[in-house]
């Protein structure tokens, strides 16, 4: 009997911070309301369909349903993050990474291309090696 009481008390103590956040966090409640509204819109749209094939066809092809489903999932994820006390991650831009990958790919293409590679490698060697001659169009050094 005492073991059961201890487990119940432990569970209550563990749940206490989550319940407190759920009660006092307005953004959490707003996320849940938005998720519920999106789910209700999906339900209302599908409840007018007759038969399982009509519902399946609507779910597979209707962009409104897809958008509402994405919105509901996003809102529930944000509510769960807030309830668990996780910071909502700000999406980072990958512009520099994408530029570096593109630049690296172009450089590899230039340096290993049979037509442009030898001239490009000589030009870089001349610039990096400190050669006063550098690149000459006819390939002579």
Q: What is the pLDDT of residue 23?
A: 82
Q: What is the pLDDT of residue 139?
A: 55
Q: What is the pLDDT of residue 115?
A: 85
Instruction: Tell me, yes or no, whether 30 and 99 share the same domain.
Output: no
Structural domain of residue 12, as residue ranges? Answer: 2-84
Instruction: Tell me, yes or no, whether 101 and 78 share the same domain.
Output: no
Residue 23 forms part of a structural domain: yes
Instruction: Tell me, yes or no, whether 34 and 79 share the same domain.
Output: yes
Q: What is the pLDDT of residue 1?
A: 63
Residue 135 forms part of a structural domain: no
Rounded Cα distance, 110 and 30, in Å: 54
Rounded Cα distance, 138 and 1, in Å: 94
Tens place of pLDDT per residue across the chain (141 aa): 678 888 888 887 887 877 887 788 888 889 889 999 999 998 888 888 778 888 888 888 889 889 999 999 999 998 888 888 776 555 677 888 888 888 888 888 888 888 888 888 888 888 888 755 555 555 555
Nearest-CA neighbor of 31 among 73, 69, 65?
73
- The encoded tokens of residue 21 equal 């956040």
- The encoded tokens of residue 89 equal 């991650």
Q: What is the pLDDT of residue 17?
A: 79
Q: What is the dihedral of CA 55, 60, 62, 66, to 10 degrees?
A: 110
């Amino acid at each position: 009997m005492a073991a059961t009481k201890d487990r119940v008390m432990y569970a209550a103590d563990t749940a206490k911070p989550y319940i407190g956040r759920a009660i006092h966090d307005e953004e959490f409640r707003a996320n849940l309301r938005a998720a519920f509204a999106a789910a209700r819109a999906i339900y209302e749209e599908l409840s007018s369909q007759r038969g399982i094939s009509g519902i399946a066809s609507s779910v597979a092809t209707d962009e409104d349903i897809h958008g509402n489903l994405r919105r509901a999932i996003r809102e529930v994820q944000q509510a769960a993050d807030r309830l668990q006390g996780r910071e909502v991650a700000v999406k980072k831009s990958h512009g520099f990474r994408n530029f570096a990958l593109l630049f690296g790919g172009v450089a590899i293409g230039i340096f290993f291309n049979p037509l442009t590679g030898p001239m490009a490698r000589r030009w870089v060697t001349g610039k990096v090696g400190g050669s006063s001659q550098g690149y000459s169009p006819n390939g002579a050094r």
